[in-house]
């Protein structure tokens, strides 16, 4: 049994990670400040003796005793991270410094949840871990893109300077139950609009592409990365299946039985046109690849949102 700290543990991905760690017998200390996360995500865990919650903002130091650290804390959707861009940068950078300092004091392994956004609007397709990216450092998305890049820099500098046990994963578009209904991400947007019978909003032509990884697959990859002793990272974690946004909207309409019309809006500044991970490294070193097809994962996600909306 390990005592594991999960920052951002009440978030969409964090809550699934907490659940999985507890299912295998680990004690979990879930730390969150509820800036974008929801109490409902962890309410079913509260009475489990393996679960402990602490409300805390990781831009401030944290003094606890744990055996492993997963650092997931940060708003991850454009709507949320652009709401307070300075705080977003602080969460990524100050948060990384504080969590790395904690891991250094405790001499424990720490995993950083980085993002495919470090690749920006990529000139390489699909994206490999060796690609340095194409990021606008002063655009509206930079508070997230560049802050996550800086966090990676900090992790590798601590690794080289202090010989720390770091792990870095780059998470590509992930979806599933417990997504925030108002986070502005394409999957939750489309499903909520379809279930409400509202127009489904496509930005750009709809021909831009994304790769969608179901949250259960992602959590399996994160734990596999943390538990192995060979690979430091960064490692891409995502589903290499590539779909256009229009294909996603059409599939959501089918699964919801919605008659919503599809409307088009201008593409936001610096929004990537194509995004697909090369997961050769994860397959070779972690023996990991996604197993849940988009249709199956979306059906589960639609069921979650249908119940959420019905409850008001």
C-alpha 58/C-alpha 92 separation (Å) is: 9
Q: Which helix (H) or strand (E) holds 274?
A: none
C-alpha 101/C-alpha 164 separation (Å) is: 10
The answer to whether the peptide bond before residue 234 is cis (omega within 30 degrees of 0) is yes
169-198 core/surface letters (b: 16 or more CB in 10 A; e: else): bbbbbbbbbbbbeebebbbbbbbbbbbeee
For residues 269 and 139, the answer to whether their CB atoms sit within 8 Å is yes
Catalytic site residue from 70, 81, 119, 144: 144
- CA nearest 125: which of 301, 277, 249, 272? 277
Give the burial class of 73: count Cβ atoms within 10 A of its Cβ; 0-12 exposed, 13-18 middle, 19 or more buried: buried
Angle between helices 85-106 and 142-162 (to 10 degrees): 20
C-alpha 246/C-alpha 205 separation (Å) is: 8
- 159 tagged catalytic: no
For residues 79 and 182, the answer to whether their CB atoms sit within 8 Å is yes
Q: Fill in the DSSP letter of residue 269.
A: T
Q: How many CA atoms lie within 13 A of 63 on its CB side?
A: 0
C-alpha 127/C-alpha 279 separation (Å) is: 9
The set of catalytic residues is 144
């Amino acid at each position: 049994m390990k005592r594991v700290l999960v920052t951002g543990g009440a978030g969409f991905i964090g809550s699934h990670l907490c659940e999985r760690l507890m299912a295998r017998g680990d004690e979990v200390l879930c730390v969150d400040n509820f800036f974008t996360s929801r109490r409902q995500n962890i309410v079913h865990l509260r009475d489990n003796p393996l679960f402990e919650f602490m409300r805390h903002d990781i831009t401030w130091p944290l003094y606890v005793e744990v055996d492993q650290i997963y650092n997931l804390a940060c708003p991850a959707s454009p709507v949320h991270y652009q709401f307070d861009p300075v705080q977003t940068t602080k969460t990524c950078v100050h948060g990384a410094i504080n969590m790395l300092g904690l891991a250094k004091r405790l001499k424990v392994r720490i995993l950083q949840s980085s993002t495919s956004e470090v690749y920006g609007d990529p000139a390489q397709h699909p994206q490999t871990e060796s690609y340095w990216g194409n990021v606008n450092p002063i655009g509206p998305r930079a508070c997230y893109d560049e802050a996550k890049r800086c966090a990676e820099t900090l992790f590798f500098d601590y690794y080289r300077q202090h010989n720390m046990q770091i792990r870095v994963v780059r998470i590509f578009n992930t979806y599933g139950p417990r997504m925030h209904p108002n986070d502005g991400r394409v999957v939750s947007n489309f499903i909520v609009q379809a279930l409400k019978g509202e127009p489904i909003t496509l930005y750009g032509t709809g021909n831009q592409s994304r790769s969608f990884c179901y949250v259960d697959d992602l959590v399996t990859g994160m734990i596999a990365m943390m538990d192995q002793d060979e690979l430091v990272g960064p490692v891409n974690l995502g589903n290499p299946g590539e779909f256009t946004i229009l294909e996603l909207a059409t599939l959501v309409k089918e699964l919801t039985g919605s008659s919503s019309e599809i409307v088009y809006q201008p593409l936001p500044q610096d929004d990537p046109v194509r995004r697909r991970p090369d997961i050769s490294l994860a397959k070779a070193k972690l023996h990991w690849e996604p197993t849940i097809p988009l249709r199956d994962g979306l059906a589960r996600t639609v069921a979650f949102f249908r119940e959420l909306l019905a409850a008001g």
